[in-house]
Amino acid sequence: MEILKFALSGYIIGSIPFSFIIGKLKGVDIRKVGTGNIGSANVGRAIGFKYGLLAFFLDFSKGIIACLIPKFLGFDLFYSFLAGLFAGIGHSYSIFLKFEGGRGIATSLGFLLVLFPKYVIIFLLIFSPVFFLKETALFILFFITSLTIYLCFKFPDLKLLPLIFLLFIIFRRVQFVVGDLKQNRKFLKSFINRLLFDAPERKKMDFLLPKEE
């Protein structure tokens, strides 16, 4: 019963579409500008840096609030992680936007930083060179993959939750391969681009991708 309760509370909190709301307040439908992504990065590009920063902070806060509810009620780490995970899912598939949403990275970072501050900072620093090379999507993938695998061994009481979280992040990227195929893109190249760079094409990194025949 607690699993359902905290999964649902996390999902509803995560579903609050702050980026969409900020866009609407500025007279912009964030889904129809820029990348079309309902997230803080697109808000920053389409409306302005300060609004993007506000959207990031609010999305980040969703993860924090979701994971603190079970913590304050006296439940263990498993339930806090569960609530945070579902906050990320809610952000990505918002019930208020017909199950559309962003990538859930800011929301996920919020709950991870609250629950595992030391390990989050360590892994962020380890992969920071990738970030400074302006490969943000690759940086996020390396960071989350390494962190979740580490958490599986460090906190066995979390059971499969870290791996489920990792699979969610990966799925959220590669699900768009279906749309790429409709635009006559090659499956393998599209899949690798989406997985590594969260984009349909990444010209400057083509040397990492298989050659088309």
Tell me the domain boundaries of the chain. 2-175, 176-213
CB neighbours (10 Å) of residue 10? Answer: 31
| pLDDT tens sequence across 128-185 | 999 888 889 999 999 999 999 999 999 999 999 999 999 999 999 999 999 999 998 8
Of 49-53, 104-108, 131-135, 200-204, the least confident: 200-204
Query: Average model confidence (pLDDT) for the chain?
Result: 92
Q: How far is CA 41 from CA 70, 163, 185, in A?
A: 29, 26, 25
Task: Quickly state the pLDDT bin for 207 (edges 50, 70, 90).
Answer: very low
- Look up the pTM and report it: 0.92
**Is the model more confident about 187 or about 213?**
187
What phi, psi does 185 have (nearest 5°)? Answer: -85, 150
CB atoms under 10 Å from CB of 73, counted, come to: 12
